């Protein structure tokens, strides 16, 4: 996805918020804002937004001397989500359509996002998850793909959300006996899941956790560790969580299913959905 003019002010706001979150003093935050502004002057609109977003977060880390500004939020939401897990699991197990229920849980988990300006209350969102009417929902195609899939690559997004991914992965394994590889970020970027968060959330019990090699807020096409690229190129299904992955992979001709909450006006507009919509969208190869 290309960068849109609206992204620039959003990234400035993100830089401001991240500088505060990182505990940087005012003088360091001035440097953060000025360097972000300088990046914007040089940014090509053809480059997807997560490249700019990743660079902004590196500026924040450098000037705040804080290598992981969102660590508190990650820990907090790992814990919050784990507390919600038993109840959510019970709801999914007694649902008429367990796969459908688990997908809604996993997509709803995508609200735990400190990159976008979306305000969220995870308890309320999870409570309303099952009754939510998605805007784009290629469920039939996803279900059909699952029937023949032998290996699934799951691109993780945020810490805490990981717990809700676990619910979906467990459901898929129970219903389709298929192996899932769960790819997390290589280094801290926003509140994205790292290996430790995924293990804390129990993902190792239902999937093989690998690093994607990415330190951007998303997984750029054609880049990553050897192991990741092997999985990426051979997967029967790629489940791509979150806006960052959609922004980077929307042009890919792969068996991708994007699952996300459309939390920013630009992505919502790109998808043709109202802001806040639940989205399960098949990638370009599936059209």
Contact residues toward a second copy (CB under 8 A) are 4-6, 8-9, 12-13, 15-16, 19, 26, 29-30, 33-34, 37-38, 40-41, 45
The minimum distance between CB 265 and a second copy, in angstroms, equals 11
Nearer to a second copy, 3 or 158 (CB): 3
In 118-252, where does DSSP find H-type helix?
122-128, 139-148, 161-176, 195-200, 226-234, 242-249
For a second copy, the closer CB: 40 or 146 = 40
Q: How far is the CB of 283 from a second copy (least distance, A)?
A: 26
User: Please, what is the minimum distance in Å from the beta carbon of residue 239 to a second copy?
Assistant: 32
Nearest to a second copy of 8, 70 (CB atom): 8
At which residue do the structure tokens 């370009």 appear?
Answer: 284
CB of 86 to a second copy, least distance (A): 40
Tell the smallest beta-carbon distance from residue 85 to a second copy (Å).
36
Least distance in Å: CB of 264 to a second copy? 13
Is the Cβ of residue 15 or residue 210 nearer to a second copy in the bound state? 15
Q: Name the residue with tokens 């007694």.
A: 94
Our CB check for a second copy shows the closer of 6 and 97 to be 6
CA distances (Å), origin 175, targets 66, 84, 178, 194: 43, 22, 8, 27
Pick the closest to residue 194 from 221, 169, 161 (CA basis). Answer: 161
Return d(Cα 50, Cα 161) in angstroms, integer. 19
SS3 of 269, please?
helix
Closer residue to a second copy in complex, CB, 61/185 = 61
CB of 5 to a second copy, least distance (A): 5
Question: For strand 256-261 and strand 237-241, is the pairing parallel, antiparallel, or unpaired?
Answer: parallel
HSE, CB side, 13 Å, CA atoms: give it for residue 137: 12
Nearer to a second copy, 58 or 236 (CB): 58
The number of CA neighbours under 13 Å toward the Cβ of 218 is 25
The 10 Å Cβ neighbour count of residue 284 is: 12
Question: Which tokens sit at 210?
Answer: 């690998």
């Amino acid at each position: 996805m290309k960068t849109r003019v609206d992204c620039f002010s959003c990234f400035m706001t993100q830089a401001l918020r991240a500088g505060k979150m990182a505990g940087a003093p005012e003088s360091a935050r001035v440097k953060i804002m000025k360097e972000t502004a300088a990046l914007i002057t040089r940014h090509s609109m053809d480059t997807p937004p997560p490249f700019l977003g990743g660079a902004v977060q590196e500026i924040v880390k450098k000037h705040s001397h804080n290598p992981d500004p969102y660590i508190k939020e990650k820990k907090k939401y790992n814990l919050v989500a784990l507390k919600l897990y038993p109840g959510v699991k019970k709801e999914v197990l007694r649902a008429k359509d367990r796969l459908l229920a688990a997908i809604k849980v996993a997509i709803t988990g995508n609200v735990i996002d400190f990159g976008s300006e979306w305000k969220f209350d995870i308890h309320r969102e999870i409570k309303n998850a099952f009754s939510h009417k998605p805007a784009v929902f290629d469920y039939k195609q996803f279900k059909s793909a699952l029937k023949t899939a032998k290996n699934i690559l799951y691109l993780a997004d945020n810490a805490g959300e990981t717990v809700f991914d676990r619910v979906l992965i467990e459901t898929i394994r129970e219903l389709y006996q298929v192996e899932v590889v769960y790819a997390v970020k290589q280094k801290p970027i926003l509140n994205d899941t790292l290996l430790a968060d995924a293990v804390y959330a129990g993902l190792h019990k239902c999937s093989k956790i690998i690093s994607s090699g990415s330190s951007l807020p998303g997984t750029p096409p054609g880049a990553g560790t050897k192991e990741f690229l092997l999985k990426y190129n051979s997967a029967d299904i790629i489940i791509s969580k979150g806006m960052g992955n959609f922004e980077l992979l929307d042009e890919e001709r792969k068996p991708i299913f994007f699952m996300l909450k459309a939390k920013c006006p630009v992505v919502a507009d790109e998808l043709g959905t109202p802001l806040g919509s639940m989205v399960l969208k098949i990638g370009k190869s599936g059209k």
